[in-house]
Amino acid sequence: MATIEEVGGEGRRARQRRATMRELKVASLDEVREHGAAGLRVRSVARRVGMSAAGVYRYVSSREELLTILIADGYHDLADHLRLAGRGEEEGRPPDSPVTDRPAPVVSTRAPAAGDVAERARAVALAYRRWAIDHPNEFALLFGDPIPGYAAPAEGPTTQGMRRVGAAFAEPLLAAWREERLRVHRALSSLELGEALAPMTDDAVGLGGSGIPPAVHALLLTTWGRVHGQVTLEVFGHHDWIFPAGCEPLFEAEVEALLTDLGLLPEPAQ
Amino acid sequence: MATIEEVGGEGRRARQRRATMRELKVASLDEVREHGAAGLRVRSVARRVGMSAAGVYRYVSSREELLTILIADGYHDLADHLRLAGRGEEEGRPPDSPVTDRPAPVVSTRAPAAGDVAERARAVALAYRRWAIDHPNEFALLFGDPIPGYAAPAEGPTTQGMRRVGAAFAEPLLAAWREERLRVHRALSSLELGEALAPMTDDAVGLGGSGIPPAVHALLLTTWGRVHGQVTLEVFGHHDWIFPAGCEPLFEAEVEALLTDLGLLPEPAQ
DNA sequence: TTGCAATGCGAACAGTGTTCGCGTATAACC
DNA sequence: GGTTATACGCGAACACTGTTCGCATTGCAA
């Protein structure tokens, strides 16, 4: 008897393997959500999927690889949320990539942000914070302590995910720039960053090539940093002793300030 | 014979205890510097000071307490560096507090920043980044992954240290505000933060009480966030794949932009 | 059917943080 | 002075970790 007719181009063994691989990721993600990255125990993951601890190593070479996978996945999830909030055109990640079963990103409670570029930029910034607050342990996994010796492989999945995050964050700003509505700060104009930062929005992200001048590129990065700084301080608890009631108003005000600095909101009368 | 004459008001036993306590801190700090916070091993610390692992627990209740001590100490060290860079009047921390032997903060390679308030603010921002880059593992200890369940005691040493960092960071900006040179962003003016954030610069820090309006307070926080975000992204390696050559120019440009936004530098001709 | 590779498991190893019980040296008290 | 209580340090042990190894078993291909 010849080989059993394969379903979907792969034998049932490969199918099974991918299924338990996904199980492992889901279990790991749950563990991280519950106990943080440092609290991820290989034995717990194994127990969750009904395996022995040793069995896990048939699928993953080390605990660190498990974390790396979660990191890459986390970037993609965050990027999806940002894209959705900013109404980018790219239709999600490639369908075989979202290996972890995450709930599909839901439109933020805030405004739909369909039209104006300022609204879209605001929506993205708020979505960034929203995701961080809703997934603090994953946020810490992505942006917290780096593994001391570890550097992400230059073109590994984590770097690609990160690129998608950057692109999703930058998209409304780039749209504003195309409409010539983006005010680039003078201090950045004189910057000569050379070709070093070209890769951020190029290739495969669908933002339209490398016609972006360095000053705009720099502006994207500083804008991201401005939002990220605020979010990091809040999510990591460094504002707890200042804002027992939560610092959402401060963040939203800072976003408004940021948008006006970018020239996307009318300058208020002095 | 009566009790041996005590030296400095404490018996030699207490003196010995404090000495080995300091030894423990130094050893721990070295370990953290070398292997990161996650790599701090009680047994390594014990080996470094020539003790058994169990002996360490005569001085410290847990590994986590060791880390907590280092955190508090780190805040003070960072605050000292900022103060020195910003030329604050407070003469260092109280002399019994600096339990860890750290090299005395050295004046930044940058300008002395004695006079103008803009220079002082710039110096503080650059010092913030400098310290982070020079002490990446300590920076991660202070601002990286929070211990999932853990919240710093409301008035513990870590909170006090954090307050000193905030105060040192804010000092030049507050000076500018007193000189009525600080431009408070309109988006922050409408903010009603109430009494929630009063404690940041009050009590014992020596910045002159609570006469600071909420909008200025908010501006201090967002300014800190703006600097912190950039530094965090850089130190934690999230700019590596964009800036193989280092992103110092970007940071310095962003600081210039920040200073002009604050009204401390003349607006460049459009 | 035979053979090979994939898969899973239990046991083991080195390492971790932490506790316990034992001595010993030091300080305080009479 | 002697006596007593306390602080200190240590080795052994416990429960736990990530990871490896050898042995079965199972599924697939020739």
- CATH assignment at residue B44: 1.10.10
Residue of B232, B234, B251 best to disrupt the A interface, most CBs of A under 10 A: B232
Q: What is the mean pLDDT of chain B?
A: 84
Whether residues A109 and A143 fall in one domain:
yes
Q: Is the CB of B4 under 7 A from strand D?
A: no
**Measuring CA to CA, which residue among A22, A250, A236, A262 is closest to residue A118?**
A262
pLDDT confidence bin for A109, thresholds 50/70/90: very low
CA A244 – CA B35 distance, rounded (Å) = 34
Whether residues B50 and B83 fall in one domain:
no
Lowest mean pLDDT among A42-56, A117-131, A174-188, A191-205: A191-205
- Pick from A60, A88, A109: which residue ends a domain? A60
CA B63 – CA B32 distance, rounded (Å) = 12
pLDDT at residue B205 tops 60 = no
Which residue in the block uniquely carries the two structure tokens 């009680």? Answer: B42
- Pick from A60, A80, A105: which residue ends a domain? A60
Which residue in the block uniquely carries the two structure tokens 């002996």? Answer: B55
CA A150 – CA A64 distance, rounded (Å) = 10
Lowest mean pLDDT among A75-84, A89-98, B186-195, B260-269: A89-98
Nucleotide D20 C1' to residue A41 CA (A): 17
Q: Does B214 touch chain A (CB under 8 A)?
A: no
pLDDT confidence bin for B204, thresholds 50/70/90: very low
- CATH assignment at residue B155: 1.10.357.10
Whether residues A5 and A98 fall in one domain:
no
B69 is a domain residue = no
B124 is a domain residue = yes
Lowest mean pLDDT among A204-213, A225-234, B178-187: A204-213
What's the pLDDT score for residue A9? 53
- Residue B50 burial by Cβ neighbours in a 10 Å radius (0-12, 13-18, 19+): exposed
Whether residues B109 and B233 fall in one domain:
yes
Q: Is the CB of B58 under 7 A from strand D?
A: yes
pLDDT confidence bin for A92, thresholds 50/70/90: very low
The size of the A-B interface in CB pairs under 8 A is: 182
Task: Give the mean model confidence (pLDDT) for residues A177-191.
Answer: 90
pLDDT at residue B202 tops 60 = no
What's the pLDDT score for residue B233? 97
Task: Give the mean model confidence (pLDDT) for residues B126-134.
Answer: 98
What's the pLDDT score for residue A209? 52
Q: What is the mean pLDDT of chain A?
A: 84
> Between chains, do A143 and B197 touch, taking CB under 8 Å as contact?
no
Nearest C-alpha of chain A: how many angstroms from B248?
Answer: 10
Residue by residue, what is the 3-state secondary structure of B109-125?
CCCCCCCCHHHHHHHHH
Task: Give the mean model confidence (pLDDT) for residues B175-198.
Answer: 80
Q: Is the CB of B41 under 7 A from strand C?
A: yes
Whether residues B47 and B84 fall in one domain:
no
Q: Is the CB of B19 under 7 A from strand D?
A: no
Nearest 5 degrees, angle CA A254-CA A257-CA A258? 85
Whether residues B47 and B87 fall in one domain:
no
**Measuring CA to CA, which residue among B26, B18, B17 is closest to residue B49?**
B26
Task: Give the mean model confidence (pLDDT) for residues A45-71.
Answer: 97
Residue type present at position B217: H
What's the pLDDT score for residue A210? 60
Whether residues A133 and A31 fall in one domain:
no
Nucleotide D6 C1' to residue B78 CA (A): 39
Q: How far is the CA of B12 from the CAs of A194, B3, B33, B214, in angstroms?
A: 63, 11, 31, 50
A266 is a domain residue = no
What's the pLDDT score for residue B92? 47
Task: Give the mean model confidence (pLDDT) for residues A129-151.
Answer: 92
A67 is a domain residue = no
For chain A, first and last CA: distance in Å? 85
B266 is a domain residue = no
pLDDT confidence bin for B183, thresholds 50/70/90: very high
pLDDT at residue B95 tops 50 = no
Cβ contact A257:A122 at 8 Å: no
CA B181 – CA B171 distance, rounded (Å) = 14
What's the pLDDT score for residue A269? 60
What's the pLDDT score for residue A251? 96
What's the pLDDT score for residue B198? 46
Which residue in the block uniquely carries the two structure tokens 């739909």? Answer: A112
Measured in degrees and rounded to the nearest 5, phi and psi for residue A66 equal -55, -45
Q: Which residues of A touch B200 (CB under 8 A)?
A: 242
What's the pLDDT score for residue B136? 97
Q: Is the CB of B170 under 7 A from strand C?
A: no
pLDDT confidence bin for B13, thresholds 50/70/90: confident
CA A164 – CA A161 distance, rounded (Å) = 5
**Measuring CA to CA, which residue among A23, A154, A173, A144 is closest to residue A86?**
A173
CA B50 – CA A231 distance, rounded (Å) = 43
Whether residues A21 and A105 fall in one domain:
no
What's the pLDDT score for residue B9? 56
What's the pLDDT score for residue A113? 44
> Between chains, do B188 and A253 touch, taking CB under 8 Å as contact?
yes
What's the pLDDT score for residue A198? 46
Domain limits for position B86: 74-261
Point out the residue among B36, B151, B188 whose CB comes nearest to the CB of A240.
B151
Task: Give the mean model confidence (pLDDT) for residues B31-56.
Answer: 97
Q: Which residues lie across from A10 on neighbouring strands?
A: A7
Cβ contact A75:A65 at 8 Å: no
Q: Which A residues 50-109 have CB within 7 Å of strand C? A: 50-55, 58-59
Whether residues A193 and A83 fall in one domain:
yes
Residue type present at position A48: R
pLDDT (tens digit per residue) in A23-51: 999 999 999 999 999 999 999 999 999 99
Q: Is the CB of B42 under 7 A from strand D?
A: no
CA B262 – CA B118 distance, rounded (Å) = 9
Whether residues B151 and B217 fall in one domain:
yes
Lowest mean pLDDT among A187-201, B134-148, B171-185, B212-226: A187-201
What's the pLDDT score for residue B3? 40
Q: How many domains would you assign to chain A?
A: 2
Higher pLDDT, residue A205 or A80: A80
Task: Give the mean model confidence (pLDDT) for residues A161-170.
Answer: 93
pLDDT at residue A204 tops 50 = no
**Measuring CA to CA, which residue among A182, A238, A236 is closest to residue A213?**
A182
Cα atoms found within 13 Å of the Cα of residue B186, Cβ hemisphere only = 9
Whether residues B144 and B226 fall in one domain:
yes
What's the pLDDT score for residue B1? 35
A99 is a domain residue = yes
Whether residues B78 and B54 fall in one domain:
no
CA A51 – CA A65 distance, rounded (Å) = 18
CA A256 – CA B255 distance, rounded (Å) = 20
Q: Which two tokens stand for residue B186?
A: 């309109």
A131 is a domain residue = yes
Lowest mean pLDDT among A86-95, A237-246, B5-14: A86-95
What's the pLDDT score for residue B121? 97
Q: Does A195 touch chain B (CB under 8 A)?
A: no
A268 is a domain residue = no
What's the pLDDT score for residue A270? 52
Lowest mean pLDDT among A86-90, B127-131, B147-151, B158-162: A86-90
- Residue A73 burial by Cβ neighbours in a 10 Å radius (0-12, 13-18, 19+): buried
pLDDT confidence bin for A53, thresholds 50/70/90: very high
Nucleotide D4 C1' to residue B13 CA (A): 18
Q: Which two tokens stand for residue B139?
A: 């920076």
Lowest mean pLDDT among A70-74, B29-33, B204-208: B204-208
CB atoms within 10 A of CB B20: 16
pLDDT confidence bin for A101, thresholds 50/70/90: low
pLDDT at residue B144 tops 50 = yes
